[in-house]
Amino acid sequence: DAKTTQPNSMESNEEEPVHLPCNHSTISGTDYIHWYRQLPSQGPEYVIHGLTSNVNNRMASLAIAEDRKSSTLILHRATLRDAAVYYCILRDVNSGGSNYKLTFGKGTLLTVNP
């Protein structure tokens, strides 16, 4: 899988927007961009994914650069419950076999201040 780069940590204040960046300069045309988060003492949780266009769902928005070499996960109003490690992962839609696995990097630890 192509590699992603994320900041180790970020801080935000409650009820403010948060923009979590991810760089993926070696992304291929068939790589989907997935975001997961892991709350303390929980398993990872799917957040959102996209290929080329910006995406919105009830949890977050995903903004994808026009050249697809970077993306940003946007939490519109951070709450204390959004404090988690956020992982940006690329998955090739054409891969199979052992490439079924998700490969997690270190992610970004988001701290939300009250």
Partner 1 sequence: DVKVTQSSRYLVKRTGEKVFLECVQDMDHENMFWYRQDPGLGLRLIYFSYDVKMKEKGDIPEGYSVSREKKERFSLILESASTNQTSMYLCASSLYRGLRYGYTFGSGTRLTVV
Binding residues vs partner 1 (CB under 8 A): 32, 34, 36, 41-46, 49, 91-93, 95-98, 100-106
In the complex, the smallest distance separating the C-beta of residue 98 from partner 1, rounded to whole angstroms, is: 6
Q: Which is nearer to partner 1, 28 or 113 (CB)?
A: 28
Q: Which is nearer to partner 1, 42 or 53 (CB)?
A: 42
Q: HEC profile for the chain?
A: CCCCECCCEEEEECCCCEEEEEECCCCCCCEEEEEEEECCCCCCEEEEEECCCCEECCCCEEEECCCCCEEEEEECCCCHHHCEEEEEEEEECCCCHHHHCCCCCCCEEEEEEC
Q: Which is nearer to partner 1, 76 or 101 (CB)?
A: 101
Q: Which is nearer to partner 1, 103 or 113 (CB)?
A: 103
In the complex, the smallest distance separating the C-beta of residue 22 from partner 1, rounded to whole angstroms, is: 16
In the complex, the smallest distance separating the C-beta of residue 103 from partner 1, rounded to whole angstroms, is: 8
In the complex, the smallest distance separating the C-beta of residue 52 from partner 1, rounded to whole angstroms, is: 13
Give me the sheet containing 45-50, strands edge to edge.
9-13, 108-113, 84-92, 31-38, 45-50
